[in-house]
Each structure stands twice: as C-alpha cells, then as structure tokens.
Structure 1
Amino acid sequence: MKTAVNSEIKFAEINGRKLAYRSIGEGQPFILANRFRGDLDVWDPLFLDKLAEKYTIITFDYTGLASSTGTPGTSILDFANDIKDLADALGYKKIIAGGWSFGGFAAVVAATEFPELITHTVVIGANPPGENSIPIEEMFFDVSKRPEYTIEDETYLFFEPASERSKKAAVRSRERIAERTNGHDKKVLEELWNHYTLGSADYAVDPTNAREKLKKLQNPVLVIMGDHDVCFPVENWYALNRQLKNTHLIVFPEAGHGPQHEYPELTSSYIFEFIKNIQ
C-alpha cells in the first residue's frame, strides 16, 4: 500500500513543463500546496496518511521548483494556477484545495479564482490576502533562510518553543519525516527562493482582489492556525471577524506555524468533519 513515506514521484505534463507530484489514498482529490522552500519531503507523513484514509492526497512541487520544470512563478496567481493546472492534467473536475504557509496563499487565490473547481479549501498557517496589520517576527527571516534546519530551527519555525509539549511534538514530527529512506525529492535551490518572496509580496498587494472575494465566497474555507505563529499571526484573521461569509477558524493552543505537524491526527479529524458537514 502506498503511504507518505514510500510513494514515488510522478510527473504531470502541462504545456511544456512537468509538475512533480505524489499521490496516496482514494476518494475525492485533495491537492495540497507547499510552504516556503518546501519540497515533497517536508510534509509530516502521519498527517498525509491520516488524510489519505478518506481522500486522494496529492502533494506537488510548484513550476520550476524542486523536481518540477519550467519557469517559476512571480505572482501568487502563478502559484495558484499550478493547483488548477495539476487538477486539469490529472482529469479532476472537482477538488479540495489546501495549502500550508505560502501554500495557503496559493490555495486562497485558487479558491477565489476557480470556485467551479474547488469545493472546499483548507488553509494552514497563512495570512488572509491583502494588507495585514501584524507582521512576521523579525527572527523568522534569519532562521527560515538557514541552509539546513536543526531541530531547534524547526521548533522555532513550526512549533512553540515555550511549550514542552510542543517541543516534544517537534522531535516526533522530525522523526516521522526521516522515515523515508529513498526516492527523495530535490531541494529548492537557494537562488530560486526569491520567487516565494515575489509571490508573497503580490499576495499582500492583492491584485486579484482575493480579500474581497474571500468575504463573499460561497464555497467553505477552513483556516487552521497555531496561537503563536511566528510567521503569520492568527490575529490577522481576527481582524476579519464577521466579514467572512463561509470561513471557519480553528486555533490550536501552544502551537506555532505548523499545527498539522504538531497535531496531525487531530488536524485531519477537524478537516474530515469540516468537509463532511459544511457544504
């Protein structure tokens, strides 16, 4: 049986480029977009395996990054288009879209631009589109750009270092990710990291008017956050309280930028119930 640690990399041919992806599980397709610098190997396998109990889970590399080919995007719509293009290439007419961190930006823009394709959207550890009042913690810029992450770096970036429970969860997640022993993805080259910066800046400028579209979106959106996200503070979502027609917010205590890695089973359970009960 294919699991997150033994699934192979496949390629979807799209207009002269190839998108690298992995797929596990069965059921409605659920395409997950990745974080800054994220390749196919950075997802917590327990989180993916739990989701794959009910859905076909597809993780992928953006155009021109890691094992995918082509010219990398410079706008957040470019990255959102990868979600749609991959769905089209795989023959999917309806999908669930999700994303973590930068991938959450891509998922939001995909949801607001392609509502006929996306039935539900799951956003993890990401800001709302447009201008937000609470910035990224300054230390994040230094730590996130270190060539290789130590367990201390990962604890700061994705967990809550002030919590013993969260620090222990960081170690367990790191161990699960290390269970893959072959078939690894390529790393995203450092000289290409600026494409995430361009996409993030574009998301804040919001040229597609995603912030206003999100307020009116009929298709349901689930936002999952930690209560101390050093990158995208959950308080930026509070500023939209009572303005969002169909967006639901869950906040994990003593959690950081990667709540799905700290609570993989609970996070997947929330996602199951959301998709099942909110139409």
Structure 2
Amino acid sequence: MVSYATAEPQFIEVNGICFAYLRFGSAAKNTIPLVFLQHFRGTFDHWDPQLLDPISTSREVILLDNSGVGKSNGTVPGTYAKWADNVRLVVKALGIPQIDLFGFSMGGFAAQMVALNYPTLVRKLILAGTGPSAGEGVESGDPAATGRLAAASNDEEERGGFLETFYSLTPGKQTLGDKWWNRMTTARSNRSDYVGSEGTKAQIEAVLRWTNREYASEGSYDRLHEIKIPVLVANGDNDIIIPTVNSWVMFKRLSNADAHFHLYPDVGHGFLNEYAGQFSSLINQFLDN
C-alpha cells in the first residue's frame, strides 16, 4: 500500500490556482477521507510519518497545501475564511461529498472556519494544538517563539526553532525532538521548503486578524456554538505557541458539539509527534466510533 513516504504529489486546478495534495491510504474500513491542514510555514512534506501511517491503514488521507504553500501556486489568503473556501473548492473539485477534517495549529484556525462555513461538508473535526479567534479567556502565545519560527531561513535555524518551540527544553525531550526531526525530514524525497518570506508575512497577517477582536466577525470565537458535529480537541499541557488554555476555552465554547478534550503530559505544541502512536490510535477510535 502507498504510504506517506511513497505518495506522489497530485495537482488539481480550481479558479486558476493549481493546488497540490497527497492522497493515500486505504478506504476499506471507512470511505470518508481525512483531510489534514498544516501548521505555520509547514507543507504536506512536514508531517510525521509515525502519526500518518497508522491512520492511513484504515482510511484514506488527503494532505493539502493551501494556496501559496509548498507545491501549490497562488498566494496565501489574508483570512482563514478564505483558507476554508480553498479547502471546500478543492474537495468539491475532487468529487468528495463529505470529509473528516484535521487542523493542526494554524491549520486548526482554517479547519474551524471550514466546519462553520460549510457545516454539511465535515462529518467529524479534529482540532490539534490550536484555539479559537480572539475572545474572553484566549491568551497570546510567546511572541519570541513565533518570531524565531518566522525568521528561520536555513536548515539549522529551522531545526533549532521548531525543536525549541515544539518540545520542552530538557535534554530528554530535545532528544525526542531530534528523533522527530530526523524522521520528518527524511520521510519523503523532493520535499518542499518551509513557506518563504512573502508567504510567511501573509500568514502572520492572517494570524493578526484572527487574534484581534476588531475582526471578530471573521473568526470562530462567537460562532463555535454553531458546530454540531463530533469534535476532538487535543493539545500538550504546556503549549507556548498557542497556549493550552486556548484549547480549553475552545472546547467549552463548543457547547452544541459532541466535543472531546484530551491533554498529553509534559509536552507542548509538538505533542502530536512526541505521542504519535497514542494520538494516531485516539484519532482512529474517534473517527470509527
């Protein structure tokens, strides 16, 4: 069976934009594909195979590079509602009537807007290491950590930035981070680079709107009660990028959803890599039940 490592990029043109995606896995047990939306600056070449491959044994997965990211052309949209529009357009163009949706970090912002603006498209929603738009109880992440990720411009800076912001700084945790980095960066050939300076600037501008109450109408905070599908919210217990408390605030505001909340101990934003085996198992259980 084709795996994350061996899946070949595919392309589809929608509204003049050529979107790149990976599509692989088995639909033997579940015919609804799980679509993944990636973190700040990341592409479909920056996932952990230890997370993806156990999931793809029982369902088809689709990893999408949004416009202006990775192997997709176009520009990065200025709002997450527009990111969500792109997801919907690609899914429709692929002829898929319904999806399960996984959004990690910034991808989780977009995933919330997909579920809100296209409620019949998403069957089940997974929100990992993410939070709602600006509102009461929502806290800002460490600006120095985000700044380091934004400024990284070579392999050494990227490795250092992600290991120090995704993982605790203890020697043991940094060793786990090293293992993740090595398997992530060697999983696939012909990998895309992280999003460049222009796209990074656009992604930051989208974050600034998301975290500003002046643009509340574009965000999710005041609308999370509209989501009425099963939702799995997960994070590490010490996330400095999107503070863990934001996941709790989001969970509590999903008042009409069948919402589940799961925290992993002694870990931050990179929990889905550090606990890849446990989290992939939880995802499969959540989607199958």
Q: TM-score, normalised by structure 1?
A: 0.91
Query: RMSD over aligned Cα, in angstroms?
Result: 1.9
Provide the C-alpha distance between the structure 1 equivalents of 2:161 and 2:75, rounded to a whole number of angstroms: 30
- Deviating beyond 4 angstroms after TM superposition, the runs of 4 or more aligned structure 1 residues are none
CA distance in 1 between counterparts of 2:68 and 2:253 reads 36
Counterpart in the other structure of 1:97 = 101
Counterpart in 2 of 1:10? 10
Partner residue of 1:218? 228
Partners of 1:15 and 1:162 lie apart in 2 by 48
- For 2:166, which of 158, 169, 173 is the aligned residue? 158
Distance 1:74 1:242 in 2: 27
- How much does 1:163 deviate? 6.7
Kept after mapping to 2: 8 A contact 1:30/1:58? yes
Q: Which residue of 2 aligns with 1:22?
A: 22
> Which stretch of the first structure deviates more once superposed, 34-43 or 197-206?
197-206
**Structure 2 match to 1:57:** 61
Aligned-residue offset at 1:181: 5.3
Counterpart CA distance in 2 for 1:154 and 1:209 is: 27
Q: Deviations over 1:88-129 (max 9, x none)?
A: 111110101111111010001111111100011111111122
Q: Distance in 1 between matches of 2:182 and 2:176?
A: 10
1:256 to 256, 260, 268: 268
- Shift in alpha-carbon separation, 1:72–1:222, aligned structure 2, 3 A: same
Letter in 2 for 1:72: V
Letter in 2 for 1:23: R
The residue number in structure 2 matching 1:139 is 144
1:168 partnered with 2:185: no
Report the TM-score when normalising by structure 2: 0.89
1:45 aligns with 2:49: yes
Instruction: Give the equivalent residue in structure 1 for 2:207.
Output: 200
Q: Could you tell me how far apart the structure 2 residues matched to 1:269 and 1:144 are?
A: 29
**CA drift at 1:81:** 1.4
| SS of residue matched to 1:97 | strand
Match of 1:121 among 120, 125, 147: 125
Q: Distance in 2 between matches of 1:240 and 1:219?
A: 14
Secondary structure of residue in 2 paired with 1:20:
strand
Q: Distance in 2 between matches of 1:104 and 1:128?
A: 9
Query: How many angstroms does 1:151 deviate by?
Result: 4.2
For the 8 Å contact 2:123–2:230, the answer to whether it is kept is yes
Mapped contact 1:31–1:83 kept (Cα < 8 A): no
